[in-house]
Structure 1
Amino acid sequence: MKCEAVYSYFYDIADRINLEAVKGYIEGAEVFPFYEYGKAVPEGINPFELPIILDFGKKEIKIDDADINLKIQCVIYSVGAIAIRIRLPIDEVDLPYIEKTAFDKKFEDTFRNVSESTKSEIEKTLSKYIKVKEKETFETYRVYFIDDDASKFVPENKNWIAGILLDEQNYPELSNDYVENTIKRRLTYYKNDTIIIDWDAALIVSKAGNYENEMMIIDTSNVQLLEYRVYQEEIDKMIDSINAKTARIQRSLWNVLGNRRSMIKLSAEISDFYTEYKDMIDSVNKIVMSFGEWYLARVYSLLSDSFKLKDIESRLESTFEMLVRIRDFIKEQVSEDTSSFLELVVILLFVVEIAIIIIPLMKL
């Protein structure tokens, strides 16, 4: 194989997935192995934090009456996300054909259909053991591998590379500044290899022929982006729910008991949601920390910079801090309402006590 185009589709299908259990009830499930391939490989990795990989083997499809052989893989993450990889091996360094896979929408549509079919198959199996969620949010990412000398290939094909990464068919007309800006996120380990990262795609040029470690880090970064998007949507729903529920709570002493129950329930919902989010962040960070050595950590850093993951996480944290303040305010209101209710009870008891004394006297 001289080249490969990999279309990956990322879905959030469950709250959590027990990877150890998956290995028990899905035949062929394996913990991702870090491959020795000439670069430094991290040691002492906690295997239970790494994803599970399912190999679905080869699948033959037709596009424009041409037979195309694909390789299908599914990567399962403990945070409840999966990545479906549609891998198209290409025998020669055929740039026009790679262009066709990138720009001809029939390829994209066909790969998406294969991905959806594979996702349904995975969900059907997992639904026997876990609760599968119906989510419309998903991410896509493309990776192109070219078996060539990067020190020669990249300078000679800068516009082509930018076009592939940007999905821009008219790449010969791109300005030099725009091209350089597009390919600036790159990392070179040896003189003749490189990885170039952009928002929608990455290009790996190397004579090594093995880039599974880079693929896993690319997948993990996309899963992180997906989970952040999902939680942002959940936060928006939670805020709408808080507004609706607080609007229904009647601010009256005579409704103190009902208000108290409603507000305690709302406070608990916020706490549970915040705990779930922090668990997700911790789980993703454990995977990221497992990268463990300079080269792989730098690849992740390029992806994180391209996806603006730190900025997104910072915005999420700010929003969650607001939710925590709302929760604390609700707790204060519950405490105040409880005090008000107790004061009311004391007043009522005092009135009853006076009535018990006065009523007999009124009969005299």
Structure 2
Amino acid sequence: MRARGTGYVLTAFDLGYEIDLVRAAERLGVGKRPEAFRHKRGSAEEAAESRRPLRFSRPIEPLALGGLACARELEISIYPYGAVCLVYRVALDLPLEELVEVSVSLYDNAGLLAAARAEAQAVLLCLGDAVREPELAQAVEDYVLYSLEPLDVPVAELETGQRELLARILRAERGALSLHEVENALDGRIAYGPDELVLVDWFGALLIGKGMEDERRVLELTTVELVELRFLDGRLELRLEEAYGLLARAQKPVFGLSPRSQDVERLARFQADSAILHENFDNALKLLGDDYLARLYELCSERFHFGAWDTAIERKLATLESIYSKISDRAARRRAELLEWIVILLFVADILLYFLPSRAP
């Protein structure tokens, strides 16, 4: 049984807080191509034009990925909420069982990640002032898609007869897997037509069928969303430590006016920016109703544990809001106390001046 199709290796990074795609297109010298789902799977509400990524390609030296040479062209997608996704393509025409070895070699591939990071850094330099708060984050998310043409056997027969092989491809595992592990790996299943199959796992996905471009775009979006969740969670961790430091300083005031107001304002601005960023990439894909692509997105969300990430981020945002409120309340009370003391001192000074003997002119 031969696997014919294309392998896509996705690597997603965060480049900054926000990217102006119009200015980015001008600096890169590329046109903003229309990017929308084709709706062949039903009616979906498309993402707004402002949230669609800027896609373009650039030539690269081919890398050896999984023993196969990748294409000489790198597909790059830039998202308005600060993310970039690099897509390496590999032509596939090999026995299905050999995809296991390809997956193993691609899993946590240091050479690939280093090359992708260098490409992301080059893109960031080209973008210049199109990026707000530019910085290539350490967080990276890589994901592998195998988009295969219909195989020699029906999909139903493939699922029943090659379950462990499919699980080992998805899990990048050379050795045998337990029945429980196989069931867990194949649990993320969805299909639209009788000759189609989509299997989604945490490291990779298997797409079988013709015209699977929509499914690939959804999986790219979820990969980008995952790296943004990781990036935002890491930023919130650092700011929480800073906020706790400000709260400790607020308990040891210097003349009633600590911490500095600019520190508090910076904390409030960061809390607001983080909430907006979370909302922006959380709403990047607007697919409503009982639509196939919406259900695929929900499946990816479950496999990538978006719910747990969202809960953790919302809890940290709430903690930041609570700390900011406490610091602001304490600062307000201390300013009020300071004003009261000033009024008292002025009152005492006025009394003293009244009783002091006046000098004759």
Check whether TM > 0.5.
yes
Is 1:214–2:215 an aligned residue pair?
A: yes
Q: 1:278 to 1:86 in 2, by over 3 A?
A: same
Counterparts of 1:156-195 in structure 2, within 5 Å, are: 156-170=161-175, 173-195=176-198
Could you tell me whether the CA contact under 8 Å between 1:70 and 1:88 is conserved in 2? no
- Structure 1: unaligned runs, 5 residues or longer: none
Give the length in aligned residue pairs: 354
1:69-84 to structure 2, matched below 5 A, reads 69-84=71-86
1:114 Cα shift? 3.4
1:13-162 paired onto structure 2 within 5 Å: 13-31=15-33, 33-34=35-36, 36=38, 38-40=40-42, 42=44, 45-57=47-59, 59-61=61-63, 69-90=71-92, 92-104=93-105, 108-127=109-128, 129-130=130-131, 131-148=133-150, 149-162=154-167
Moved more, 25-34 or 182-191: 25-34
Which residue number corresponds to residue 315 of structure 2? 318
1:205 to 203, 208, 214: 208
Partner deviation per Cα, 1:290-348 (whole Å, 9 max, x = no partner): 57771111111011001111221122112211211221122211221111011101111
Distance in 2, matches of 1:321 and 1:177, equals 38
Q: Which runs of 5+ in 2 are unaligned?
A: none
Q: 1:138 to 1:269 in 2, by over 3 A?
A: same
Cα drift, residue 169 of structure 1: 0.9
Match of 2:237 in 1: 236
Instruction: Give, in whole Å, the separation in 2 of the partners of 1:322 and 1:37.
Output: 41
Q: Which amino acid aligns with 1:103?
A: V
Distance 1:231 1:120, change over 3 A: closer
What amino acid does structure 1 have at the position aligned with 2:247? T
1:287 aligns with one of 269, 284, 287: 284
Q: 1:343 to 1:105 in 2, by over 3 A?
A: same
Q: Whole-Å Cα distance in 1 between the matches of residues 46 and 247 of structure 2?
A: 50
Give, as a single letter, the amino acid of the residue that structure 1 aligns with 2:277: M
Q: Determine if contact 1:86/1:115 at 8 Å carries over to the other structure.
A: no
TM-aligned CA distance change 1:44 to 1:222, over 3 Å? closer
Q: Which amino acid letter does the alignment assign opposite residue 296 of structure 1?
A: L
Q: How does 1:224-263 map to 2 (within 5 A)?
A: 224-249=225-250, 251=252, 255-256=255-256, 258-259=257-258, 262-263=259-260
Distance 1:247 1:335 in 2: 16
- Contact 1:103–1:169 (Cα < 8 Å) also in 2: yes
CA–CA separation in structure 2 for the residues paired with 1:298 and 1:357: 82
Question: TM-score, normalised on structure 1?
Answer: 0.87
Aligned partners of 1:283 and 1:22: how far apart in 2? Answer: 19
Q: Relative to structure 2, which stretch is displaced further, 310-319 or 193-202?
A: 310-319
Write the deviation string for residues 45-66 of structure 1: whole angstroms up to 9, x where unpaired: 5222111111225643457997
Asked if structure 1 preserves the Cα contact closer than 8 Å seen for 2:7 and 2:147, the reply is yes
Query: How far does residue 188 in structure 1 lie from its aligned partner after superposition?
Result: 1.0
Matched, 1:340 2:337: yes
* 1:6–1:142 contact (8 Å) kept in structure 2: yes
Identity %: 18
Q: CA RMSD in A?
A: 2.9
Q: Residues 238, 96 of structure 1: CA spacing in aligned structure 2 closer, same or farther, 3 A cutoff?
A: same
Residue identity matched to 1:234: R
**2:336 aligned counterpart, secondary structure:** helix
Change (3 A) 1:282 1:117: same
In structure 2, distance between residues paired with 1:22 and 1:276: 21
Inter-partner Cα distance in structure 2 for 1:43 and 1:249: 48
Q: C-alpha distance in 2, partners of 1:128/1:335?
A: 38
| Closer, same or farther: CA 29–73 of 1 in aligned 2, 3 Å | farther
Structure (1 or 2) with the greater helix fraction: 1
SS of residue in 2 equivalent to 1:177 = helix
Q: By how many angstroms is 1:20 displaced?
A: 2.3
SS of 2:55 mapped into structure 1: strand
Give the TM-score normalised by the residue count of structure 2.
0.87
1:223 aligns with 2:224: yes
Query: Partners in 1 of 2:265 and 2:205 — Cα distance?
Result: 43
